[in-house]
Amino acid sequence: MFRYLISILFISLLLAIFGSYFLFDYWIHRYDNLIERQASVYHLDPDFVWSVIYEETFFRNWKRGADEEVGLMQVTPVVAREWAKATGIRELERQAKDDVVGLLKSSERNIQIGCWYLEKLREDYRALPAEEAMTLAAYNAGASRVEEWTKDGKEITESDFLERINIASTKLYVISILERYRAKKSKSALTAK
């Protein structure tokens, strides 16, 4: 009887370990196709977008931020309305005006708008040495802060730019995403061989 109980406990433990691994893997990759599709539309690296979502909400599409951010990429209503206006599609403009939270709760729209906004921010930093770090800092703290941190010239290295970020939470945000993004890129490169 004792052996039987030990066997059941051992099997249950193995199932719990393997089950949680596969559940975790499913959780963090369930939006991969959607991320890849929207990232490609806006010429972004899907791993970069994935890393932003990981940091922002850990793939919880119902997450709401302290400053009214909504969904996977924590898009603000202001950005959603700006995106809707930029599309020129009246129905989207109406929806963004009438029910912006409902619009942003859609995982597909949220990622679409988040990618649009990331690309819009990135335009100002394209081909600069700290392009990715500046884009992330602007996404988190605003483009005006990035301007403040680069007022004596944007042609600075990434490490110099990171040193200039004087908001601790933004600095940690940028570093965390860059580390995760680069680790994911390295892992992808190894598995592609």
Across residues 171-182, what is the average pLDDT? Answer: 98
Residue 140 has pLDDT above 80, yes or no: yes
Reported as a single tens digit per residue, the pLDDT across 9-57 is: 766 665 556 656 667 888 889 999 999 999 999 999 999 999 999 999 9
Segments forming the whole domain that contains residue 135 = 127-193
Query: In this structure, is residue 20 part of a structural domain?
Result: no
The residues that bridge with 44 in the sheet, in sequence order, are none
Q: How many CB atoms lie within 10 A of CB 138?
A: 23
Give the CATH number, domain containing residue 106: 1.10.530.10
The answer on 131 and 99 residing in a single domain is no
Average pLDDT, the chain: 91
The answer on 118 and 86 residing in a single domain is yes
Residue 127 has pLDDT above 80, yes or no: yes
Q: What is the pLDDT of residue 24?
A: 80
Q: How many domains in the chain?
A: 2
Torsion angles phi and psi, residue 144, rounded to 5: -65, -30
Torsion angles phi and psi, residue 69, rounded to 5: -70, 150
- List Cβ neighbours of 27 (8 Å cut-off, separation of 6 or more): 59
Per cent of the chain over pLDDT 90 is 78
pTM: 0.88
Q: Which of left, alpha, beta for 89 (phi over 0: left; psi -120 to 50: alpha)?
A: beta
User: Nearest CA to 148 among 128, 134, 132, 130?
Assistant: 134
The last residue of one of the domains, among 73, 103, 123, is 123
Q: What is the pLDDT of residue 193?
A: 65
